[in-house]
Amino acid sequence: MKLIDMDVATLISQSRKPDANPGGGAILILISNLAINLCLMMDKEDFGNLSEKANVSRETLLGISNTYEKSMQEDVDNFNALMDKIRNKEAKEIDYKNAARPLISMVDGNLKSLEEISFFLENGKKSTLTDGQISNDLLYQAILSAFATIKINLDQTDLSYNFDEKTKLAKNLYQKNLDIIERRNKWQ
């Protein structure tokens, strides 16, 4: 069964099995997708003279969300293919690259999402600011949590990945968003 077709109860029971479907990578992508949509709860009907920026941020976030629906399944499929090849002693570098690809894409998508949610944190409905804060936290933590899986896969390849650069960028975007949240909380 594809992840996108699972109900919540099935997803939960599947994730606790020893041969989990989904595994950690797909769960991180799902959490990131939920985080994006959680921040969109801050959307409002009228942003006045900021409507064009609101539309760009909204469409960007929705596009990333749609991509994540496919990436979750890609992560599961690529991981299963890699495990089959490892068991059969047929794993090649490309298989490890494929296994890393959905999470690498998620990290880039989460970085872009952290940029875009700042608009809603700054200008969205204040009544759902805590949802925006949860979104900020989840997107940031999903990036950091993805690194272990990316590393273990890329260590089997000739590809390098700049974990320090991605960490620094994520931390800066996360902190910028926290500053917005703190500022808005003081305005009460």
The pLDDT assigned to 23 comes to 83
pLDDT digits (tens, 9 = 90+) for 124-176: 999 999 999 999 999 999 999 999 999 999 999 999 999 999 999 999 999 99
**Across 12-28, average pLDDT:** 82
Contacts of residue 181, defined as CB under 8 A and 6 or more positions apart, other chains included, come to 121, 129, 132, 133, 136
CA gap 146, 136 in Å, rounded? 16
- Whole-number percent of the chain with pLDDT over 90: 85
- In this prediction the pTM is 0.93
- Whole-number percent of the chain with pLDDT over 70: 98
Question: Where does the pLDDT of residue 187 fall: very low under 50, low under 70, confident under 90, or very high at 90 and above?
Answer: low
CB atoms within 10 A of CB 173: 23
Residue 95's alpha-carbon distances to 80, 113, 179, in angstroms, are 10, 28, 41
pLDDT digits (tens, 9 = 90+) for 81-108: 999 999 999 999 999 999 999 999 999 9
CB atoms within 10 A of CB 126: 14
What angle do helix axes 129-154 and 93-123 make, rounded to 10 degrees?
Answer: 160
- pLDDT of 60 above 90: yes
